[in-house]
A and B are shown apart, each in its own frame.
Chain A
């Protein structure tokens, strides 16, 4: 059974640029959630995708957007990057509303 995978591992961008992060869900899972974890903090919920539609969103601006594909993999897109967007971005997959299992994360640095 393959776990949750994310790519890339690390990424460096400059302010104003756009970034796309990718997540492959665990085998048998149909729901993907994205979280942002700033240094020294707990993860904060960005949004959740189910049946290829956004199905719940946290307090993040519209420049954070996502996609879910028919194979349940997902992308997180962030436009107009700001310095405060520097964080570890975690993807979690689950079957419906069951336990969320997390990937290794993508560390984004915005200069």
Chain B
């Protein structure tokens, strides 16, 4: 079965520090997608990135970067020069594609999340 592990449950940093959020996953699928979502106190899950299992290139978007390593089944997320607005719970997720009554069906399997607090 699919599984996502976020070993860190809570991290507290001071503004401008860099922080890396770890994510390790388990799957038997050869094709899958990995995601990161951010959940601020308001509760809404905000999409950050989706990465295809065949694309191991690292990605950078502003202060955010992602490191995908298939050999270690990891998809880590780094925030550079953290800001107070980055304070949130961050979830790593893995897609599980199945067959539904109407064709392909995709569900997301989430880790337990990592609470990041950035202090001024």
- Interface residues in chain A, defined as those with a beta carbon under 8 Å from any beta carbon in chain B: 33, 35, 40-45, 48, 50-51, 53-56, 58, 88, 90, 92, 94, 96-97, 99-105, 107
Contact A102 B37 (CB under 8 A): yes
List the 5 closest A-B pairs by CB distance, nearest first.
Answer: A56-B105, A42-B110, A55-B100, A102-B45, A45-B107
Bound Cα distance A92, B44 (Å): 10
Contact B45 A54 (CB under 8 A): no
Bound Cα distance A8, B104 (Å): 30
In the complex, which of the residues A40, A45, A55 contacts B101, with contact meaning CB atoms closer than 8 Å?
A: A55
Question: What secondary structure prevails in chain A residues at the interface with B?
Answer: strand
Q: Can you report 30 A-B residue pairs in the complex whose CB atoms are below 8 A from each other?
A: A33-B107, A40-B113, A41-B112, A41-B113, A42-B113, A43-B110, A45-B107, A45-B109, A48-B100, A48-B106, A48-B107, A50-B105, A51-B102, A54-B101, A55-B100, A55-B102, A56-B106, A58-B107, A90-B45, A92-B45, A92-B108, A97-B97, A97-B105, A99-B47, A100-B108, A102-B45, A104-B42, A105-B43, A105-B44, A107-B43
Contact A42 B112 (CB under 8 A): yes
Question: What secondary structure prevails in chain B residues at the interface with A?
Answer: strand
| Chain B residues near A107 (CB-CB < 8 A) | 43
Bound Cα distance A8, B98 (Å): 31
- Interface residues in chain B, defined as those with a beta carbon under 8 Å from any beta carbon in chain A: 4, 35, 37, 42-47, 50, 91, 93, 97-98, 100-113
Bound Cα distance A103, B42 (Å): 11
Bound Cα distance A43, B5 (Å): 13
Bound Cα distance A97, B110 (Å): 17
Q: How far is the CB of A58 from chain B (nearest CB, A)?
A: 6
Contact B45 A56 (CB under 8 A): no
Q: How far is the CB of B11 from chain A (nearest CB, A)?
A: 16
Bound Cα distance A96, B100 (Å): 12
| Chain B residues near A44 (CB-CB < 8 A) | 110
In the complex, which of the residues A50, A88, A101, A104 contacts B102, with contact meaning CB atoms closer than 8 Å?
A: A50
